A and B are shown apart, each in its own frame.
Chain A
Amino acid sequence: MTATDRVDGRPKVTGAAAYAADRHPAGLAYGYLITSTIARGTVTGMDTTAAASAPGVLAVYTPFNSLGLFTYNREQNDEVHAPLRDANVRYYGQAIGFVVAETFEQARDAATLVAVSYDAQPSKTSFVDNLGGATPPPSGAPTVDVLAPEFATIDAALAASEVVVTATYLTPCNDHVAMEPHATVAAWQGDNLTVHTVSQGVRLVQERLSSTLGIDQSRIHVINPHVGGGFGNKWGMWAQMPLAAAAARVLGRPVKAALTREQVFTIVGHRPATSQTVSLGARRDGTLIAVKHDGVSSKSASNGFTESVASTSLSTYATPNLHIGRAVVTLDVPVTTIMRAPGESNGAFAQESALDELADQLGVDPLEIRRRNYATVKPDNKLPWSSKHLDECYDLGAARFGWSRRNPVPGSVTDGDWLVGMGMATCTYSASRSSASIKVRLLADGTAVVAGTGADLGTGQSTVFAILAAEVLGIPVRRVSPDIGDSTAPTAANAGGSGSTSTNGPAVQLAAAAARDALLRFAVEHERSPFHGMTDVRYENGDLKAGGLTMSFGTLLSTADVPAVEATATSPRNENRTVAYRSFGAHFCEVRVNRWTAEARVSRWLTVVDAGRIVNEKTSRSQIVGGVIMGIGHALLEDARMEPTGRFANANMASYLVPVNADIPPIDVHFLDYPDSTLSSLGARGIGELAIVGAASAIAGAIHNATGKRIRELPITLDKLLT
């Protein structure tokens, strides 16, 4: 493990790093979105007279004066309807208009002057009230059953169990609230479009814009070197992107469209609400006989994404009988989409909490019951794991955290007015390796550039590019410049599915080696090279050596009067399906609950991680800490509250609560660092989503240990603990 500073750390903290909204090309005009104020129906009219004549206004686009966008050709977990194509309203806060003006303030002011009339239709917006109307998901099997030969149904297996616990768990809608709101700056040069935009993958933007604008992908240049957080909400394309591009084309000048914080809550998707019922059947020693996990998720009528929340039970604990069920409640609400560990973070809250309830009923320690149900093969398909050291995470974590000091009797540990409890949970998330191409360019100034589309959402992906190329090239990291988030680069992995490093990392290694080989060929074959015609040329730590001659690659290229030597390499998709791939870890936490006022505060945390090779300990640690912090928000604070009107009642950062520094204790992170050589020669799995999984259940378990109260509905706010 190395611990390397972020290569983009200094520009970020000094403000030199330009994000999408920081771009101000000459002649820039500013767009502002108008959004709907009903949940379902039709816009019957929009009076734009006053807005169109307001100071500085260049254009007002509506469904009745649209931008002529074509329908999207495929879904990316996002809105399936291109904006302003029709007058239908499918949710409150949908884009129904776009005002462009000389300044942002003029556009915003004019937007308030547009009078909208609607024909409102009845709408369904409440998840809980409509649970009775749940239906099978639009794609994927509604149920998966893996049963031992002696049982015909999961209920028969439960009936044959010595002990059964059954409980229902509820989780609310969550929002990503990435620090950087969504912004796009679009500028045309003739028929060519340049787009600076938020995104988790420039290729995704290029494809989608190509289809909706009706131009060839090769004419679209997407640039996105810095992203201020994504968590899934910059994967898809949201309304500001095509509106800015289309308006810029019509107006013949660059247009910026940035969502307000309030608009991000509805124009951009959210994590669905879920209701999950889990039944665990076990022997008296806690060994599982049957696991039944039925999950229902909210789903927007405006897209097809569904959170397969029960699937987490297919991967975690050994059981001879397993059932998962998937269903959705389709609602007239903003788009439901992926958010950090989609499915798994909500799924693990239910599954891990149910296991705690079983342990509690049997008088077995929560950690011990997890050891007794350790899955040595993947529970659903019985494949062996590529690499799994979760047992070591448990052992090492318990020792490091002092788990043996946990008193199993709730309420028995106090500190002044505070009841103190301990909890733990398993975390696990899928791992994979897709195909990626990377170009490495060695320059005459002695530096190297590593280029691939990708995206660095603050994860440290750019730094991983630099570290891995520097390692192969044998030069210091500071001499490597990552070039990430530019659509003209070779196609690398988008930032999603915790797959950036596991996919792009091996490609960086291959490309760096290919560039080194190309340099060696150049040294021998180029007529101005001092090594020309020599046979024993070697490359060592940035230098070429042969005979008595040693020369850095920069000097070689300068001497030969050549600007650079480069190579592109592609790392293929992993095709080994004989094993199962997951990242693993164990959370341990201490939570305090005030005996009078019942607020819960997390006071200690440890996560032990088994995620293959850790390329950069420093940024990896931040990924785990970030996941835990988001998990603390998931557990204790975050709750996007839907009103009957379809309006999110708290769509702002003062009312939708995410943790602040004062909520977060020191977080101890320990990496096992066992390379997963089955997944790739690099041996890295994923860490981006892993740590939010299980965090909420660990907290709920600690609260139970502190108070004796088992809270099955997130967030665990003080009103649920007061009674």
Chain B
Amino acid sequence: MSLIEFAQLLNDSELGTALRESVYAFPIVEGLHLIGLSLSVGLILFVDLRLLGWFLVDVSVEDVMRPLRPWLLGGFAVTIVTGILLFVAAAAKIMLLPVFIFKLLFIVLAGINAWWFEYRWGRRVDEWGDQSGLPQGVRIAGFTSLALWSLVVIAGRLIPYLSYE
């Protein structure tokens, strides 16, 4: 089965059709996607600003990251689930859309950056987390995270603008 056939399958599924045809379902799912965004991208904004040394600089990194982590993860969960629903509803239109592929690519890269940060720095945050000047690698990870998630949001906004009719 080709990718476009798979997309058509999702598109024509009961779920996809129901989402598209229901008056309120699609806007509500999009609204929940936005809430998830505020919790995930919104809170990660503050974490990244801390890593860059631009927000709550006298609070140790661990004291910023650890309490926010469950909210961040919850936000990502809501964003991903609603994102999948939005995709199912619009699959045929956006499956091969370059900006959609880019959005997925940026998400993957952001995930890799987060994983790498966790592996290289996050596990030993208590060793460097309350220095006034944070290690270069940490600041790079923070900046990369900000840049990549911004690109995800930009690409996401462009999807409805550029999707084929």
Indicate whether A and B interact. Answer: no
Binding site for B on A (CB under 8 A): none
Binding site for A on B (CB under 8 A): none
